[in-house]
């Protein structure tokens, strides 16, 4: 069973006892508050899918200092399943990583029928959720503890993008994006393992690597394990990329490349791939990539093909020597922190 990435809350009679739109001023249930804060510390996001008026709902959350605990808000009168679909799209996460808590059996039934992959729980069980396996990540990394803040910063970026008067490329250029590529260390292994578990779209193989495997690869003379950190004027995105390379004769094989879906619309996967290809070519080697198709990673295949990779032997993709190296990006400053 996949670990829940986001818990979507109904508000009235679920987070608190009462209906705000009818003039009630209820205090949140203590068990609900405990669940909110405990799951937040574990890196599980919170969102709202409630009935009523957005301003009244967020105003009541603000009165109790809870607004910033939620990364997405859907408050209105439509179907809750439609709200959850929009939340998943806004947060760029799979519907099968979402859970939903609501006091109304009819609301839960509607969501379960329309979105059977979403796990639904009655309001009276909210206090017990922290004990369930699906709400207990195997490891809680520093990245996880700051996940909500990353998403809130992304919400600010999205608002700035909507208000930006120029075209999308100009907005990207205005962000001041910096990507730092560096050798992975022991301190990175937990986050790197987490990335292999959580990242599915921009992932060349779907392979998972635990800390012991990563430690062994870092110690191997013919392997290189790299991580990529990204930041911009709104703050740090954190460690969002992982690459495992292996030297095989005159080739450098990209055994695994992935970047977080959180930076999908910033083109970071393409930027990281291009940087690695240029580096391998500059060393006089041939770039080769392993690609294993999964249910979700076709976008990575497209990324590889646009970067100049074509079919090779044994299911590998080989960089076409007739192609020029991918051009350095105009919207991202790349810092290579590796020691040569």
Q: Please, which pLDDT band fits residue 338 given cuts at 50, 70 and 90? A: confident
pLDDT at 125: 95
Phi, psi of 262 (to 5 degrees): -65, -25
- Average pLDDT of the segment spanning 21-45: 94
pLDDT tens sequence across 198-256: 888 899 999 999 999 999 999 999 999 999 999 999 988 889 999 999 999 999 999 99
Exposure of 232 in the CB half-sphere (CA atoms within 13 A): 20
Instruction: Please check whether the two domains, 6-135 and 167-336, share a CATH topology.
Output: no
Q: Is the pLDDT of residue 312 over 90?
A: no
pLDDT tens sequence across 262-302: 788 788 999 999 999 999 999 999 999 999 999 899 999 99
- Ramachandran sector of residue 45 (left: φ over 0; alpha: ψ -120 to 50; beta: rest): beta
Q: How far apart are CA 175 and CA 156, in angstroms?
A: 12
| Residues 175/234, Cβ–Cβ less than 8 Å | yes
Q: How far apart are CA 270 and CA 199, in angstroms?
A: 15
Give the domain ranges of the chain. Answer: 6-135, 167-336
H-helix segments, the chain: 30-41, 54-63, 80-91, 105-114, 142-145, 147-163, 168-174, 189-198, 211-219, 268-282, 298-307
| Percentage of the chain lying above the pLDDT 70 cut | 99
Average pLDDT of the chain is 93
CATH of domain 167-336: 3.40.630.30
H/E run at residue 243:
strand 235-248
Measured at the CA of 330, the angle between CA 202 and CA 290, to 5 degrees, comes to 30
| Percentage of the chain lying above the pLDDT 90 cut | 80
Q: How far apart are CA 203 and CA 240, in angstroms?
A: 12
Q: How far apart are CA 281 and CA 73, in angstroms?
A: 47
Q: Is the alpha carbon torsion for 26, 31, 34, 39 positive or negative?
A: negative
pTM above 0.75, yes or no: no
Give domain 6-135's CATH number out of 2.60.40.420, 3.30.2130.10, 3.40.190.10, 3.40.50.1000: 3.40.50.1000
pLDDT tens sequence across 58-113: 999 999 999 999 999 999 999 999 999 999 999 988 999 999 999 999 999 999 99
């Amino acid at each position: 069973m996949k670990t829940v990435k986001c818990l979507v809350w109904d508000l009235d009679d679920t987070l608190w006892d009462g209906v705000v739109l009818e003039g009630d001023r209820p205090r949140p249930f203590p068990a609900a508050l405990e669940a909110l804060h405990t799951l937040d510390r574990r890196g599980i996001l919170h969102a709202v899918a409630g009935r009523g008026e957005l301003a009244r709902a967020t105003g009541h959350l603000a009165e109790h200092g809870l607004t910033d605990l939620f990364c997405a808000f859907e408050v209105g009168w439509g179907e809750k399943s439609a709200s959850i679909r929009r939340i998943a799209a806004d947060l760029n996460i799979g519907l099968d990583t979402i859970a939903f808590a609501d006091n109304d059996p009819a609301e839960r039934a509607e969501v379960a029928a329309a979105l059977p992959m979403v796990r639904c729980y009655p309001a009276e069980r909210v206090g017990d959720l922290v004990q369930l396996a699906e709400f207990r990540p195997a490891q809680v990394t520093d990245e996880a503890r700051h996940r909500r803040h990353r998403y809130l910063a992304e919400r600010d970026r999205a608002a700035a993008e909507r208000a930006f008067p120029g075209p999308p490329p100009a907005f990207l250029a205005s962000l001041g994006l910096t990507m730092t590529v560096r050798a992975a260390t022991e301190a990175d292994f937990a986050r790197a393992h987490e990335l292999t578990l959580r990242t599915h779209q921009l992932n060349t193989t779907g392979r998972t690597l635990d800390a012991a495997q990563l430690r062994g690869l870092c110690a191997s003379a013919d392997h290189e394990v790299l991580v990529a950190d990204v930041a911009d004027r709104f703050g740090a995105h954190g460690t969002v990329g992982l690459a495992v390379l292996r030297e095989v004769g005159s080739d450098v094989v990209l055994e695994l490349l992935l970047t977080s879906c959180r930076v999908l619309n910033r083109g970071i996967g393409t930027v990281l791939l291009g940087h690695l290809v240029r580096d391998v070519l500059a060393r006089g080697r041939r770039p080769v990539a392993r690609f294993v198709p999964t249910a979700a990673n076709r976008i990575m295949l497209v990324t590889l093909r646009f970067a100049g990779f074509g079919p090779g032997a044994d299911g590998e993709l080989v960089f076409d020597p007739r192609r020029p190296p991918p051009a350095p990006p105009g919207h991202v400053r790349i810092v290579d922190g590796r020691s040569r």
